[in-house]
Amino acid sequence: MVQPLSADEWGDDEYAAFGKLLGAPGHQVPRAGSGHAYDPLKFPVVGLLARHPKLAEAFLTFNAYLLQRGELSTRLRELVILRVAYGHRSAFEWGQHVTMALAAGVTPQEINQIPRGAAAFVGIDGLVLTAADELVDAGTVSGETWDLLVADLGTHQAMEVIFIVGAYVTTGMAFGTWGLDSIPGSAVLPDADERHAASG
C-alpha cells in the first residue's frame, strides 16, 4: 500500500502541490513536521497524492476550485460527496465530509439518510442525489435529470454536480486502492448492508 510522505520526503515540488489546495505559493506552505495547523503531515491524503507532485498539483488545483470557488452551494456539494463516498466505500472521505456537511448545515438526520439515496430526500436535495447515483451507476445523467438540474440550478451549477461526482469517484478509487483509512475520531462509514437493503 502507498503511504503518505514522511517529513523528510517533502521538497519544493511537494510543497508547491499542497499550495494549490491552500491557495499559497509553495514557499509559504508550513513545513512538514512543524506542528502548524496546515502542517502537511496532518493531511494524509495530500501526503499520498504528493508522491506524484505534478499530478497532485493539477488535481488539487481542480479540487480546490470545486471546494472553494465553485458556484454550487456547499450543502448540495457535501450531500453529493457523501453519497459518492458511501457508494465507493471510502471511509476516509466519509469521515472528512461528514464534518464538512455538518458545518454546511446538513443535519445529522439527513446524513443518516444518505445510504437510502435520493428516495430519502425531496426537492433539489433529492435531485442532486439522483444525478449522483445515475452517474455512478450508468456513467451518465439522464436527459430528464439533466434538464431538471439546469432548470433548478442553472448550467454552471449543474455542470459542477457532474464534476464533483467525477472527482470523488476518482479519490474513492484511489484511496480504496491505497488503503487510506479514516482519521481516528472521524465519523464512521455506515455499513454496506444498508446500501444493499435500500436498493433491494
pLDDT tens digits for range 171-196: 999 998 998 888 889 999 999 864 43
Q: Is 196 exposed, middle or buried (0-12, 13-18, 19+ CB in 10 A)?
A: exposed
Are 7 and 33 a contacting pair, CB within 8 Å?
yes
Residues 6 or more apart whose Cβ sits within 8 Å of residue 69: none
pLDDT tens digits for range 61-90: 999 999 999 999 999 999 999 999 999 899
Q: Whole-angstrom Cα distance, residue 118 to residue 133?
A: 8
DSSP element (H, E) containing 183: none
Average pLDDT, the chain: 93
| Residue extents of the structural domains in the chain | 7-67, 72-199
pLDDT tens digits for range 40-63: 999 999 999 999 999 999 999 999
> Model-level pTM?
0.90
Query: Which one is the CATH code of 72-199: 1.20.1290.10, 1.10.1040.10, 1.10.3720.10, 3.40.47.10?
Result: 1.20.1290.10
**High-pLDDT (> 90) share of the chain, %:** 89
pLDDT score recorded for residue 182: 86
Buried/exposed 27-55: b ≥16 CB within 10 Å, e otherwise: eebbebeeeeeeebbebbbbbbbbeebee
